[in-house]
Amino acid sequence: MDGKNKEKTVFVDGGVCAAQGFHAAGMYAGFKKSRKKDLSLIYSETLCDAAAAYTTNKVKGATLKVTMEHLADGKAQAVITNSGYANTLAPNGMEIARKTCALTGGALGLKKEDVIVCSTGVIGQPPMIGPFEKGIPKLAKAVLAGGGPEDKYYGAGNAAEAIMTTDTVRKEAAAEFKIGSRTCRIGGMAKGSGMINPNMATMLVFITTDVNISPPLLRDALKSDINHSFNQISIDGDTSTNDTVVILANGKAGNKRINAFGSDFAAFAAALNRVTVKLSRMLAKDGEGATKLIECRVKNAPTDELAMKIAKMVIQSDLVKTAIYGSDANWGRILCAVGYTPGNFNTDNVDVVLSSSGGQVTVCEASFAVAFDEALAKQVLDMDEIQILVNLHDGMANAEAYGCDLTYDYVKINGMYRT
SS3 (DSSP) at 225: helix
Say what the pLDDT of residue 141 is.
95
Strands (E), 169-255: 171-179, 182-191, 204-209, 244-249
Is 100 an active-site residue? no
Q: How far is CA 123 from CA 87, 100, 273, 335, 418, in A?
A: 7, 18, 31, 37, 10
Say what the pLDDT of residue 390 is.
98
pTM: 0.87
Distance CA 64, CA 88 (A): 9
Say what the pLDDT of residue 414 is.
63
Give every residue of the chain whose pLDDT is below 70, as ranges: 1-7, 56, 148-150, 193-202, 235-242, 413-419
Say what the pLDDT of residue 196 is.
45
How long, in residues, is the chain?
419
Write out the H or E segment, with its range, that includes residue 289: none
Say what the pLDDT of residue 415 is.
65
Looking at the chain, which residues constitute the CATH 3.60.70.12 domain(s)? 3-285
Question: Among the options 104, 202, 244, 341, which is catalytic?
Answer: 202
CATH fold of 3-285? L-amino peptidase D-ALA esterase/amidase (3.60.70)
Q: What is the pLDDT of residues 73-114, one digit of tens each?
A: 999 999 999 998 888 787 888 999 999 999 999 999 999 999
Looking at the chain, which residues constitute the CATH 3.10.20.340 domain(s)? 293-415
SS3 (DSSP) at 145: helix
Kindly give the pairing relationship between strand 39-54 and strand 244-249.
antiparallel
Give the torsion sign (CA, 267, 268, 269, 270). Answer: positive
DSSP state of 372: -
Say how many Å lie between the first and final Cα of the chain, rounded.
43
CATH fold of 293-415? Ubiquitin-like (UB roll) (3.10.20)
